[in-house]
Chain A
Amino acid sequence: AQKVTQAQTEISVVEKEDVTLDCVYETRDTTYYLFWYKQPPSGELVFLIRRNSFDEQNEISGRYSWNFQKSTSSFNFTITASQVVDSAVYFCALSEAPLYRPAIQGAQKLVFGQGTRLTINP
């Protein structure tokens, strides 16, 4: 069964600090995808990144970076020089890519973690 664990329920830091959000996942499939979504106070889900299980390269996008380590089943998210606008709930999610189900291969549910509420204080 698939499972995503975000052990940090809430994190609060002062603006300009770096902060890392942890994500640990479980899956039986060898092919899968990992995601991070941001949910600001307005409630919508904002896609941040997708990473497939074959690509363990770290990714950096501006102040955001992601560290994917298959050996520890982790996909951690770091915000450097945090800003007040980064305050939100962040969700890590997993999607399996079952290649043996070609007919519905595209319909792949996302399994979300519990989310981490990040508060950046001025």
Chain B
Amino acid sequence: EPEVTQTPSHQVTQMGQEVILRCVPISNHLYFYWYRQILGQKVEFLVSFYNNEISEKSEIFDDQFSVERPDGSNFTLKIRSTKLEDSAMYFCASSDRPLAGGNNEQFFGPGTRLTVL
């Protein structure tokens, strides 16, 4: 069964360093998302991406964040200069064209745990 994959599973970095979190969405999906979950808290939407551009972004997704689909398979989240409060689990998700009812299930990857020291 196709699945979303994410690498690395755990990333440790120093404050101020740049990190790139990588995701391989399901191959025929068209919509891509990043979510964040600070330890013990709820899952929060960061950004959605469609047709090679950002569809929507949250207040969390400030200038330090960027997303890219550098080729036909990868979808990346870059944090330019990490802060301590960026420590969280980052989930990538992808979805297909919406069904006639207007929605489409998002399939989540296993997450990347980012630790900023």
Name A residues whose Cβ lies closer than 8 Å to a Cβ of B: 31, 33, 37, 43-45, 47, 50, 52, 54, 91, 93, 95, 97, 99, 104-115
A106 partner, pick from B42, B44, B91, B97, beta carbons under 8 A: B97
Kindly specify which of B16-24, B47-55, B68-76 makes contact with the partner chain: B47-55
Check if B102 sits within 8 Å of A107, measured CB to CB.
Answer: no
Q: Which of A45, A52, A95, A112 has the most CB of B within 10 A?
A: A45
Q: Can you list, as one digit per residue, whether each of B50-67 has a CB less than 8 Å from chain A (1) or not (0)?
A: 100001101000000000
Name 7 extra pairs, CB < 8 A, besides A91-B42, A93-B43.
A44-B108, A52-B101, A97-B102, A107-B33, A108-B103, A112-B44, A114-B41
Shortest beta-carbon distance from A51 to chain B in Å: 10
The A contact surface, by secondary structure, is loop
Return the chain A residue nearest B108 by Cβ: A45
A106–B43 Cα distance when bound, in Å, is: 20
With A43-B89, A52-B101, A104-B55 as given contacts, are A110 and B42 in contact (CB-CB < 8 Å)? Answer: no
Check if A106 sits within 8 Å of B50, measured CB to CB.
Answer: yes
**B98 at interface, CB cutoff 8 A:** yes
Check if B48 sits within 8 Å of A109, measured CB to CB.
Answer: yes
Check if B42 sits within 8 Å of A113, measured CB to CB.
Answer: yes
Shortest beta-carbon distance from A57 to chain B in Å: 14
Q: Which of B30, B42, B50, B107 has the most CB of A within 10 A?
A: B42
A97–B105 Cα distance when bound, in Å, is: 12
Check if B111 sits within 8 Å of A44, measured CB to CB.
Answer: yes
- List 22 A-B pairs, Cβ < 8 Å: A31-B102, A33-B103, A37-B108, A43-B113, A44-B111, A45-B108, A45-B111, A47-B105, A47-B108, A50-B105, A52-B101, A91-B43, A93-B43, A99-B102, A104-B48, A106-B31, A106-B95, A107-B48, A107-B55, A108-B48, A109-B33, A112-B43
